[in-house]
Structure 1
Amino acid sequence: MDKENREIGVHQFTLMVIFFGMGSSILIAPASLAIIAKQDAWISSIIGTLMDLIPVVVYAGLIRLYPRKSILEMNELAFGKWLGIAVSLLYVFFFFVLSYALLGDVGYFLTTQVMPETPIVFIMSCMMLVALMAVRLGPDVIARGSEVFFPWVMLLFFLLVIMLLPKTEVHKMQPIMEFGAVPALRAAFPYGSLQEYVVLMMLLPYVKSSPKIHSSFFAGVIAAGAVVFVIMLLCIVVLGPGLTSVNLYPTLTLAKKISIGKFLERVEVIIGGMWLITITFKLIMTFFATAAGLTQIFRFNNYAFLTVPLAMLVVVFVMPTYTNIVVVVDFVDRVWPYFSWLFMLVLPTAAWVALWVRRLAAKGVDDDSPQVESG
């Protein structure tokens, strides 16, 4: 694919970071936070966002070294050809698992909350078809789509906040830090693992070269974290920590509380629309990372021919996975945080260190080389 003709603007990249960070968090994260941190869940969301900035610092360092390389291309430069390919294959596996996890989230939500009579395989196939078409159109089209939908997502968000303000009861936040700081910190670790921003490192070859790339990445992470923080805070002050923790989708229950003049009610479509738009973009970007990753590893000229079989594989793998939602929730709580942080922070940090060591070693060799005196 011609990268020069598929360039993404820096501001577009920021919007994609925001959508990615909001994706699975605005509907699912409040319950997992409230289970551990109780009424301090809003504090955990702040700590989790700050934790997400740590790997972004590493990504910024990698971008400074190789601004037009993806994370997989950096792996080969850092670890050598064969070890780099092995690490890159692990990344592709991570992207693939995340793709079918996101697709499963959409399918389970729609079949349990919106269209219970519709077969889940049909819903997931339709959603995967949307992701397939978007990825085939290219990253520039995905970026322009984020520009189109961003104002609508923000409008829905502000409407949700404004309509819920009369329902808030600040005393539900108390007592703050009743059980100390440990529960808030414990809840922040799995929350931070839900924002797998390393996926966006696969889009870097298509982002226009600019010194603002680093700041746009940070701005997107902070903005997404701020949205989730506000939603988390609303869950606590409207529903309370108890009701938030026992609901699988507390944000949807939050929207059901809206009642204005006894004629504006049952507007949970607001939060449903926000979540569906953002998680669709997150699925698209993750599926793109999977297809583009395989293309880079095996040196294919284009990833388009991979999209159809990969999409079919995602649907096939997600079906047995989401037959038992209890197992899925347990996996997300117990396994996913460690699995995700490995690819979000540990491996990128190792690549960053290795690249610096290689660069310093190469500089040392150049400095030690004999100089030819002129004259």
Structure 2
Amino acid sequence: MNNQGSVSSIQMSVLFLAFITGSSIVLIPGPLTNAARNGAWLSLFLALALGMVLLACVLYLHRVYPRMSFIEYSRAAVGKWLTLLLAIPYVTVMFWHVAGIVIEIGGFFNNTMLRETPTYAINTLFFATIAMTVRAGIEVIARMSVLLLMLMLGFTIVVLVMVAPLYHPEYLRPVLPDGIRPVLHGAYIAYGFPYSELTTFAMLLPFVRKQEQTKVGKFLFWALILNGVTLAASILCSIMVLGPLSGDLKYSLYQLARLIYVQEIVERIESVIGFSLIAGSYIKSTIMLFILSKVLAQLFKLQDERLLIFPVALICLLLSITMYSNEMSLDEAVNATWPLLDNAAYTLPLLLVMAVTLVKRLRKPPASA
């Protein structure tokens, strides 16, 4: 960890916000509205509440084991062999996860901007870039994320403001046209992407500088709330403009940007939303590749995890090219399989370690006066 640097609590919260907002600000409104219709914003807040519970668990373990990552305090809590057993699905799903992010960005390019460019060329360029960024270390990633996150959120706000003349608030009613079940289905989708993924940040919290460890929890919760507000605004604005079509159109924010037209002066600005997706996916895949390399290095007790970065990136590249034969199978995996895999690989190991830690602390005899 030392050769990778350290970050402040604010920088860690920016990384966290970029990670959970990232590509989700463009990708989540469509599938969520398709599942929950006008109640999509309710689904989001239900998923956000579950995300806050998971973040509280991550921060509790960080307080108990302040200078350890998830793999390190899992060894301390449940032993090295059970940790290795838990790490097998953790690492496997993370490989699939990194590849899936890049598959999404490749699909976006093929459907919108670069229709004639082969997917393998886009994915190769993307993985080469994120691998070099990961090799530069956590400090570089954090500084870069601040700038990209500001641009990403700024472009999104500009689009939502400029499309305001097309808003139809009446499209938001009725809130529950088909009852509560679609809302629960939407909450399941939003919980799986992006909120169940935040448990992987247990690998990064030891990088926060020692003197700022006590402040990081507060900043992470504020980042999570800001994420919820941003995604809710994107969903509500998409519904107010596109109405019933908002659930049927992929990349709904991109579709909103295409509708902006101001006196033949400002038009066709959907490229800024394309930039937002590229920047968000780049940040998220960079952080995930960094975490994956860190997990593998700690499992195999390597002194320098940078030796793994390019081989791991190559494996993820091959997975991104070969995993899915068509876009429909990817969408089905994201909406149905992804939440289950995230829970099995990321959430359950964390909850198991937390339960064992709680039992040990309860059984520990009080210190004698």
TM range (shorter): over 0.9
Matches within 5 A, 1:159-308: 159-195=158-194, 196-209=197-210, 210-240=213-243, 242-308=244-310
| SS class of match (2:341) | helix
Question: Within 2, Cα distance between the matches of 1:165 and 1:323?
Answer: 38
Asked whether the equivalents of residues 69 and 206 of structure 2 are also in contact (C-alpha less than 8 Å), the reply is yes
1:146-157 equivalences under 5 Å are: 146-157=145-156
1:263-312, CA deviations, whole angstroms, 9 ceiling, x for partnerless residues? 21111112111121111100000011111110000000011111111111
Kindly indicate whether the alpha-carbon contact (under 8 Å) linking 1:31 and 1:245 is maintained by their aligned counterparts in 2: yes
Whether the 8 Å CA contact 2:14–2:146 is kept in 1: the answer is yes
Q: Which residue of 1 aligns with 2:77?
A: 78
User: Which structure: larger Rg?
Assistant: 1
Match of 1:99 in 2: 98
CA RMSD of aligned residues (A): 1.7
Aligned partners of 1:222 and 1:344: how far apart in 2?
21
Q: What amino acid maps onto 1:77 in structure 2?
A: A
CA drift at 1:345: 2.9
The answer to which of 15-24 and 151-160 deviates more is 151-160
Deviation at 1:45, TM superposition (A): 1.7
Shift of 1:366: 6.8
Contact 1:22–1:279 (8 Å) recurs in 2: no
Say if 1:344 and 1:88 are closer, same or farther in 2 by CA, change over 3 A: closer
| Paired amino acid for 2:237 | L
Q: Compare 321-330 and 128-137 and name the one that shifted more.
A: 321-330
Asked whether the 8 Å contact 1:48–1:188 carries over to 2, the reply is: yes
User: Runs of 5+ in structure 1 lacking a partner?
Assistant: none
Under a length normalisation based on structure 1, what TM-score does the superposition of the two structures give?
A: 0.93
Consecutive unaligned residues in structure 2, runs of 5 or more: none
Q: Map 1:50-69 onto structure 2 (within 5 A).
A: 50-69=49-68
Partner SS, residue 302 of structure 2: coil
Alignment partner of 1:318 is 2:317: no
Structure-2-length-normalised TM-score: 0.94
Provide Cα deviations, 1:100-141, integer angstroms capped at 9, x if missing partner. Answer: 000111111112211111111111011001110111000111
With 67-76 and 304-313 compared, the bigger mean Cα shift is at 67-76
Partners of 1:347 and 1:91 in 2: how far apart? 8
